[in-house]
A = this chain, B = another copy of it.
Amino acid sequence: MDWKPNRYEEKPLYKQITDYMKTKIERGEWGYDTKIPSQRDLASHFNVNRSTIVSALQDLIAEGYVEGEHGGGTKVTYGKWEKQSPLPNWNAYIEKGSHYPNQPFIQKINQYEFEKDLIRLGTGELSADLLPKKLFQQLMSSADETDFHLGYSEPKGDLQLREAISKRLREKEIYTTPSSILIVSGALQAIQLLSLSLLERSARILVERPSYLYSVNALQSAGIKLIGIERSINKPLSIEKVEKLKNRFDLSLFYVNPTFHNPTGALMGEDERKALVKNSIRMGLPIIEDSAYEDLWIDKKPPLPLKSYDKSGQVLYLGTMSKLVSPGLRIGWVVGQEGVIERLADTKMQTDYGSSTVSQYVAKRWMLSEQYEEHSAYVRKMLKKRRDFMQFLLECYFSHLATWSIPKGGFYIWIVFHFRLNFDKLFKKGVEKGILIAPGHIYDRLDRTSLRLSYSYASLEEMEKGLRILAELIEKEMISKKM
């Protein structure tokens, strides 16, 4: 909700709220049978006493706008008694849609991140002060009128941007012409496009477990099953196990996140990479390499990407500007065999007619700018400081409660508790105490003991406070009461 009552108005608060809700209902924004938020949520959102909400609802009930339900909720019943046909029941539509809704935890996280002033302990993006806002503003303000174009973009995306990407990729020993590159609106969109373009509805793909892919439903909604292979931060991937699963489940693809894995932080070694590429060719199991965090190394440069060892087009490589530069830009890329890129581009044209040309323009300028290296180095330095500080805090507050490994890059520490956590309770209590957490459950439906912590977003002060609150909460709620 985007409105708040005004304390300085003459009209009493409860009446302002009644009027606001009436308008929403009369205009059909809250349709027939819509469940309205709980009294508690309304009170907290409007920042008023619960009794004010009760008065407002009483008025609405009296005038036939809403009705109380047995279960305790309140539903819109406006129009119930009018002598007309039933109002549109969008709820039935909402339930029928083939795309799965987000997991409840993620829905709540998406909402709270913008609504409430919480310390975000698990967020997957850089803190705003690490993003190159000033540089972007300079790029934008120095834009020459002739530089950018406002029309629809070509199917694979702006050629100059693809050239700039192909140049940057050479630094990683990935050699590719621009025609084998597709610009996408972030790596997530690439995942949706490939799930719609390269896989049939009953396909099964292999993913590491835990995995980022469990946190979105792009593949699952396209009817594709995820088969998990357990992934530990310290042990190399077992090729035999991959092969067994490949044969058992007739797997179509293997989605891997080899460099600073989300959510575990794991880093595949060079030999492991070479073996994986070689064997995936032998087995006939193409690879999707998600390189989202590749440039975010802290201690030293990671091994070359899988794609650099691939001479046959076996690997489809995903990159993004989100993690190092700007998630808001929504610019990523896919590198692969030309026919595959063309298929993905064709689906993209039917999905959104290409990515924003303004974003593509800024991305291109960024790729070619002198500040590129400088900014990267700066972010690495700051991430090191943040990671080391979080490590220090974990040792202070969590060493008796959990174990974890120190990642060599990326954003995340995967912390595994010595006991089960009640995520629902922990999440809710956390919000009450001012912290937002990312339960391990999001990345592995079977997980009951882990959290994804991120040192990329919260400030050092917030980290200290947030982790302290978290440790206290876990000690109090999860141990003493044996939950």
Contact present for B93 and A340 (CB under 8 Å): yes
Supposing A94-B198, A141-B140 touch, asked if A282 and B85 sit within 8 A by C-beta, the answer is yes
Given B98, B144, B339, which contacts A34 in the complex, CB threshold below 8 Å?
B339
Chain B contacts of A85 at CB under 8 A? 281-284
Counting CB contacts under 8 A, is A450 at the interface? no
Counting CB contacts under 8 A, is A2 at the interface? yes
A84–B284 CA distance with the chains assembled, in angstroms: 11
Among the 9-residue stretches A55-63, A298-306, A309-317, the one with 4 or more Cβ atoms under 8 Å from chain B is: A309-317
Contact present for B110 and A136 (CB under 8 Å): no
Contact present for B328 and A178 (CB under 8 Å): no
Can you name the residue of chain B whose Cβ is closest to the Cβ of A310?
A: B28
Supposing A34-B339, A185-B185, A350-B217 touch, asked if A328 and B150 sit within 8 A by C-beta, the answer is yes
Contact present for A145 and B150 (CB under 8 Å): no
Given B84, B128, B134, B356, which contacts A329 in the complex, CB threshold below 8 Å?
B356
Chain B contacts of A81 at CB under 8 A? none
Contact present for B175 and A27 (CB under 8 Å): yes
Among the 9-residue stretches A189-197, A243-251, A389-397, A400-408, the one with 4 or more Cβ atoms under 8 Å from chain B is: A189-197
Given B32, B133, B179, B359, which contacts A145 in the complex, CB threshold below 8 Å?
B133
Contact present for B339 and A91 (CB under 8 Å): yes
Among the 9-residue stretches A199-207, A429-437, A471-479, the one with 4 or more Cβ atoms under 8 Å from chain B is: A199-207
Among the 9-residue stretches A226-234, A268-276, A341-349, A376-384, the one with 4 or more Cβ atoms under 8 Å from chain B is: A341-349
Contact present for B102 and A349 (CB under 8 Å): yes
Of residues 246 through 270 on chain A, the ones whose CB sits less than 8 Å from some CB of chain B are 252
Secondary structure at the A interface, as helix, strand, loop or mixed, is: loop
A327–B128 CA distance with the chains assembled, in angstroms: 29
Among the 9-residue stretches A4-12, A152-160, A420-428, the one with 4 or more Cβ atoms under 8 Å from chain B is: A152-160
A200–B28 CA distance with the chains assembled, in angstroms: 23
Contact present for A97 and B155 (CB under 8 Å): no
A85–B351 CA distance with the chains assembled, in angstroms: 36
Can you name the residue of chain B whose Cβ is closest to the Cβ of A180?
A: B29
Contact present for A340 and B196 (CB under 8 Å): no
Counting CB contacts under 8 A, is A480 at the interface? no
Contact present for B346 and A102 (CB under 8 Å): yes
Contact with B along A115-142 (1 / 0, CB 8 A): 0000000000110100111101100111
Contact present for A312 and B88 (CB under 8 Å): yes
Chain B contacts of A286 at CB under 8 A? 88, 90, 93
A93–B243 CA distance with the chains assembled, in angstroms: 20
A1–B346 CA distance with the chains assembled, in angstroms: 16
Supposing A94-B339, A99-B196, A155-B111 touch, asked if A328 and B356 sit within 8 A by C-beta, the answer is yes
Contact present for A352 and B189 (CB under 8 Å): yes
Contact present for B137 and A150 (CB under 8 Å): no
Counting CB contacts under 8 A, is A362 at the interface? yes
Contact with B along A331-343 (1 / 0, CB 8 A): 1000011111001
Supposing A134-B145, A140-B140 touch, asked if A313 and B150 sit within 8 A by C-beta, the answer is no
Given B86, B98, B162, B312, which contacts A201 in the complex, CB threshold below 8 Å?
B98
Supposing A93-B198, A338-B34, A349-B102 touch, asked if A26 and B311 sit within 8 A by C-beta, the answer is yes
9 further A-B contacts with Cβ under 8 Å, apart from A28-B313, A85-B284, A185-B185, are: A87-B312, A93-B199, A111-B155, A136-B150, A137-B145, A141-B142, A192-B351, A327-B353, A330-B352
